[in-house]
Amino acid sequence: MSQQQIDPRKQQELQLQYTNFKNTLQQLAQKIGDIEQEAEEHKLVIETLDPLPSDRKCFRMVNGVLVERTVQDVLPALKTNSDGLKQVLDDMLKQYKNKQNELDTWKKKNNIQVVQP
């Protein structure tokens, strides 16, 4: 026979919930990508500065202002920032995984099957 008929309001509500899940996942993925890119930039700068003499002059952007420092001044701050970015990235990946699991559970609970056009 034909598929079970669903109340149009219920169907619209489920569609809205699904869209919200997908938007949240997409936003998290975008933030994760941004943080990964920033972490990679920090890594490249650290690798560039590490072998240099500690008293060598270098420049760092602080709140939109380029300031002159030495490698020994800049390197510890870069490493701290890099570690912080890694921690944020780990947390965001956990959030993404939890939200994906929440979506999967919701789909099973509501018997949702996604049809790709």
Domain membership of residue 117 (yes or no) is no
Instruction: Show the low-confidence residues of the chain (pLDDT under 70).
Output: 1-6, 116-117
Confidence (pLDDT) at 110: 87
CATH number reported for the structural domain that contains residue 27 in this entry = 1.10.287.370
Confidence (pLDDT) at 8: 82
Domain membership of residue 110 (yes or no) is no
Print the domain residue range for 23.
Answer: 10-101
Instruction: Report if pTM > 0.85.
Output: no
| Distance from C-alpha of 46 to C-alpha of 76, rounded to nearest angstrom | 9
For residue 105, how far is the Cα from the chain centroid? 22
Taking the CA atoms of residue 73, residue 83, residue 41 and residue 90 in that order, the dihedral angle to the nearest 10 degrees is -170
Domain membership of residue 112 (yes or no) is no
Domain membership of residue 57 (yes or no) is yes
Domain membership of residue 2 (yes or no) is no
User: pLDDT tens across 26-56, in order?
Assistant: 999 999 999 999 999 999 999 999 999 999 9
Domain membership of residue 113 (yes or no) is no
Confidence (pLDDT) at 1: 36
Domain membership of residue 115 (yes or no) is no
Pull the structure tokens for residue 54: 């500690």
Q: How many domains does the chain have?
A: 1
Domain membership of residue 32 (yes or no) is yes
- Count the neighbouring beta carbons within 10 Å of the beta carbon of residue 95: 15
